[in-house]
Structure 1
Amino acid sequence: MTIGRVHSIESMGLVDGPGVRTVVFFQGCKLRCAYCHNPDTWQVNEGAEYTPEDLVAKIKRFKPYFERSNGGVTFSGGDPLMQPEFLVECLKLCKENGIHTCIDTSGYGFGEYDEILKYADLVLLDIKHIDSIGYKELTGQDAKGVNTFLDAIRDSQTPVWVRHVVVPGMTDSKEHIEKISSIVNEEIPTVEKVELLPYHNLGTNKYKRLNMKYKLEGMEPMCKNKVQELQGIVNNIIKNARKPFLGV
């Protein structure tokens, strides 16, 4: 029997894919992002235990709410790719029950993604940086993991929404954003949307509670007006490269 570990379940997610979403946060993540606001999801052996059948039965209870908005379920984390067998079984059961499926991931799992992407209607892909040096600095891992996932995405033709966190002094330059846009154009032919997310420090209290050091201690939240300006650069680059463009 397959058993998975779940950190928490949010019943009314509004920013985790199309429509209203039930969001399931899996335990486990390979990355240690400097700005992570869910460090309590890092360890895969924590959280509540579920069978795929029990979890999907719970998701189905919210179906009347998310169906009216053409929503569905988003498997997030942590990173859902860290529990691949559990994830695949949950995705299959959701598809059998007519539930739109989305995985919210940074692309770091164990390299076997074909079956996962076969049953995922949408991928929310969080791209951290433009190269391995930047990845290592921000996450503790190089870019090899996300590149392996991108290979699988191209083979599957699964639709993708790209997300990128804009951090002051680290990923907020015009040149950096132009490079991210070029990477998306070259590497992700099925991209439908690129969203820039402003860095925030709302998760710092968790680090204090867990007696953990927060790597970006003292950094102020990203200016939202500047993020909007940078979003315009992204939209123009992506739109000019892809017609029609289904962006924000």
Structure 2
Amino acid sequence: MIRVHSYESMGTYDGPGLRLVVFLQGCPFRCLYCANPDTISLTGGKLTSPDEILDMAVSQKPFFGSKGGITFSGGEPTLQADSLIPLFRRLKTAGIHICLDTNGGVWNRQTEELFGLTDLVLLDIKQFDESRHKALTGHTNAQTLRTAAWLEENGRPFWIRYVLVPGYSDGEDDIRNLGRSIGDYKNIRRVEILPYHRLGVHKYEAMGLEYSLKEVKENTKEQLERAEMLFREYFSIVVVN
């Protein structure tokens, strides 16, 4: 069984084309800006049969076209790698393109096998500087960067997703250091800059939690353009999502 938080049909922001997005429950990171704090708990969501997810994907396959497919997001889907591996095999047999949206912070034999079955990894790099990454997420970024290196070494195509949080992850030195570190990777197919937003603040209020970044304002057009310009110095395809 797979612990599912929610679904989005015909999603256009989580991978190429039109996609069925499956948001899974549970995450080891504690990102200060998390828009879905209700996905963090390992015990939330609904236990769901892999057959149900496969049937949904197959029923929507006519809408996917040549680029679309299914995306597993979260939470952090690699926490459920054991249950996802057989489902991924069945999805591949059905000819459905698979994306995996991950922070890359979990690594074991099962996650390695899961990455090997994934057509496109959406790798969320929160911050390049290790100390600032830990302040932002509660965890080091060492494994995330090792995951990026593994994807490159094993010829697995991936996108980089980078949330631009004013005062936390928009520093020029941090962006440049990230570019210098992985900008020559051949398997990075694009970099997505994700603007910081406050759409999940109401969830914190409903859950009786404090939103730590309530004083942080959303990006200005100039901030996004500046970040895009910096990333373009190191990566060939950069988009603001």
Shorter-chain TM-score: what band?
over 0.9
In the TM superposition, residue 114 of structure 1 has moved relative to its aligned partner by 2.4
Please state if 1:89 is matched with 2:86.
Answer: yes
Distance 1:229 1:132 in 2: 23
Q: Alpha-carbon deviation of 1:225?
A: 3.1
Q: Secondary structure at the match of 2:194?
A: strand
Aligned residues: 238
- The partner residue of 2:20 within 14, 17, 22 is 22
Q: State the partner residue of 2:167.
A: 169
Cα displacement string for residues 141-187 of structure 1 (whole angstroms, at most 9, x for unaligned residues): 1123313423432343110100111111122222222122222225x
- What SS is found at the alignment partner of 2:233? helix
C-alpha distance after superposition, 1:11-67 (max 9, x if no partner): 01101111011100010100000000011111122111112222111221211111x
Name the structure 1 match of 2:226: 229
Pick aligned residue for 1:132 from 130, 151, 158? 130
Q: Return the TM-score normalized by structure 2.
A: 0.92
2:202 to 178, 200, 205: 205
- The corresponding residue for 1:219 is 216
Unaligned 5+ runs, structure 1:
240-245
Of stretches 74-83 and 167-176 in structure 1, the one that deviates more from structure 2 is: 167-176
Q: Is the 8 A contact 2:231 2:238 kept in 1?
A: no
1:70-89 mapped onto 2 (5 Å cutoff): 70-89=67-86
Q: Which amino acid aligns with 1:92?
A: R
Structure 2, unaligned runs of 5 or more: none
Query: What displacement does 1:110 show?
Result: 4.0
Contact 1:72 1:100 in 2 (8 A): yes
- 2:97 counterpart residue number: 100
Is contact 1:23–1:74 with CA below 8 Å preserved after alignment? yes
* CA distance in structure 2 between the aligned counterparts of 1:175 and 1:47, rounded to whole angstroms: 39
Which whole-Å CA distance do the structure 2 matches of 1:72 and 1:122 have between them? 11
Q: Secondary structure at the match of 2:166?
A: coil
Q: Could you tell me how far apart the structure 1 residues matched to 2:226 and 2:149 are?
A: 31
What CA deviation, in whole Å up to 9, does each residue of 1:188-244 have, x standing for no partner? Answer: 4411111111111111000000111111122111113321232122123223xxxxx
Alpha-carbon distance in 1 for matches of 2:107, 2:26: 12
The AA in structure 1 aligned to 2:230 is I
Which segment drifts farther, 188-197 or 25-34? 188-197
Give the secondary-structure state (helix, strand or coil) at the position aligned to 2:162: strand
Identify which range, 56-65 or 204-213, moves more after superposition: 56-65
- 1:243 corresponds to which residue? none
CA distance in 1, matches of 2:182, 2:221: 22
Question: Which letter maps to 1:124?
Answer: L
The worse-fitting range, judged by mean Cα deviation, of 33-42 and 55-64 is: 55-64
